[in-house]
Structure 1
Amino acid sequence: MARDSYQEKLETLQSDVLYMSEVVVDRLRLALESMEQKDDDTAWEVIDNDSEVNELYLDLEEDCIDLLALQQPVAGDLRLIASSFKIITDLERIADLAVNLAEYTLDADRDMYPEVDIQAIGTTTIQMVEDSMDAYAAEDIDACYDIADRDDDLDDRCRRASETVMRDLIETEIDERSAESDVEALMQDVSRLLLTIRDLERVGDHAVNIAARTLYMVEKDDELIY
């Protein structure tokens, strides 16, 4: 294969990875929207369209394998292909977390803990994913470190949100006069909210993974990989 053609395929790979990230971010945004508006139709849209992300992932996985097989890549190209493969794996997992959020929307039937701003946390995670993909596109190593630093703040916010939920649960009066169905509903609501916080924190972790792979791709620096 001519080197120019091979280089074009590498550029196409990057473009396709960026397109997949746009689809995934859209799914995450829709999942949060469905949660905020208690919109079952939007939640089902996220769930039913997950197969599109899976198909994109499999197509890009095959592209990565083909690129490795078509021509012995030089070190920089090899890192690009390997990092792109790792990044699409993180994107696919973010899409799975968006499906989780949509499913929580279908299960929820009442508001709880308005002091826990899920939408604000979700907006932060979306921005982190978008910024990590911008860093991948621009090969911006400073942005990679910035995303890793911002994840510490996200982790702290998620920890404080979880503590708020648990503290309120402990302070909720439950005694022998409480209906069993009410207690069960309360525990399900608490569990669902804690899972929501956990899944959003994981989205942030995947954004850091993308930044880490980008840093390795550009600088052959594995400092952020964990």
Structure 2
Amino acid sequence: MDNRKGFHQSLEELQRDLLRMGVMVEEAIFLAVKSLAKLDGVIAQQVIAGDEAVNEMMVDIESSCLRLLALQQPMASDLRVIGTAMKIVTDLERIGDHAVDIAKTTLRLEGEQLLKPLVDTPRMADMTKDMLRDALNAYVKKDLEIARGLEQKDDAVDKLFKQIFLELEELMKSDPTHVHQAILLLLVCRMLERIADHATNIGEWVIYMLTGERQELNH
């Protein structure tokens, strides 16, 4: 096998690993918000325990990137692909951390009753998972249109966050006993907003990878 063919196979394997890590953190988001909606401490602990595997995956992918840089002679375009992978893996790891923080919020609320059934928060989580899938697809498919489409989706997440903020603010004003739980739920939505920001970051890195130019998608 010639070196160039071997390099491209290694690059494809790197991308598959990134997608696998993306699936792991997407599942963590889903389970974390599910644990909150059900106030289920068992599911929350599952998310917290699973974070170690996400961190290990990050180390493995970073090591793969460094090996490709050290042992191969990547061209300029390949260098951007590898460099982007190293940026993406950092964003994925931070998304995993936010999922853990949401799970920890579940544990803080365990034994209480939710102020009202969660509807908008799971919807916000679904929107962030959709953004994450788009961001990773844009990377693997080298698709500028998908990457740039993240800006509009991020705006929709921000809009929903503001709506939830106003609703929780009204709950706190109407009954001071709701303040503690409302603040925690607001923090959860802030974490989901940050997850959307990380997905947008990935989109920005994909645009840089493909064009060599930085474009701000998150205003």
Q: Which residue of 2 aligns with 1:207?
A: 199
Q: Which residue of 1 aligns with 2:186?
A: 194
Structure 1 CA distance for aligned equivalents of residues 19 and 51 of structure 2? 17
Q: Which residue of 2 aligns with 1:178?
A: none
Shift of 1:225: 6.6
Q: Which residue of 2 aligns with 1:46?
A: 47
User: Structure 1: where are the runs of 5+ without partners?
Assistant: 175-182
Secondary structure of the structure 1 residue equivalent to 2:214: coil
Greater Cα radius of gyration, structure 1 or 2: 1
Structure 2 CA distance for aligned equivalents of residues 76 and 192 of structure 1? 44
The 8 Å contact of residues 141 and 215 in structure 1, kept in 2 or not, is answered as yes
Secondary structure of the structure 1 residue equivalent to 2:216: coil
Structure 1 residue ranges, 4+ long, deviating more than 4 angstroms after superposition: 113-116
Could you tell me which amino acid in structure 1 is paired with residue 152 of structure 2?
D
1:75 is aligned to 2:67: no
Structure 1 CA distance for aligned equivalents of residues 20 and 54 of structure 2? 11
Shift of 1:188: 2.2
The 8 Å contact of residues 158 and 201 in structure 1, kept in 2 or not, is answered as yes
Shift of 1:114: 4.5
TM-score computed with the length of structure 1 as normaliser: 0.89
Structure 2 CA distance for aligned equivalents of residues 150 and 23 of structure 1? 21
Shift of 1:4: 1.5
Q: Could you report, residue by residue, the CA deviation over 1:185-226 in whole angstroms, capped at 9, with x for unpaired residues?
A: x33212211111100000100110111111111222311377
Shift of 1:112: 1.6
Correspondence 1:114-153 to 2 at 5 A: 114=117, 117-153=120-156
The 8 Å contact of residues 213 and 225 in structure 1, kept in 2 or not, is answered as no
User: Structure 2: where are the runs of 5+ without partners?
Assistant: none
Structure 2 CA distance for aligned equivalents of residues 156 and 36 of structure 1? 21
1:63 is aligned to 2:55: no
Shift of 1:113: 4.6
Secondary structure of the structure 2 residue equivalent to 1:83: helix
Number of residue pairs matched by the alignment: 215
Identity fraction in percent: 35
Structure 2 CA distance for aligned equivalents of residues 15 and 115 of structure 1? 34
The 8 Å contact of residues 113 and 165 in structure 1, kept in 2 or not, is answered as no
Could you tell me which amino acid in structure 2 is paired with residue 215 of structure 1?
I
The 8 Å contact of residues 41 and 107 in structure 2, kept in 1 or not, is answered as yes
Could you tell me which amino acid in structure 2 is paired with residue 122 of structure 1?
A
Structure 2 CA distance for aligned equivalents of residues 155 and 89 of structure 1? 22
Q: Which residue of 2 aligns with 1:105?
A: 106
TM-score computed with the length of structure 2 as normaliser: 0.92
CA RMSD after TM alignment: 1.7
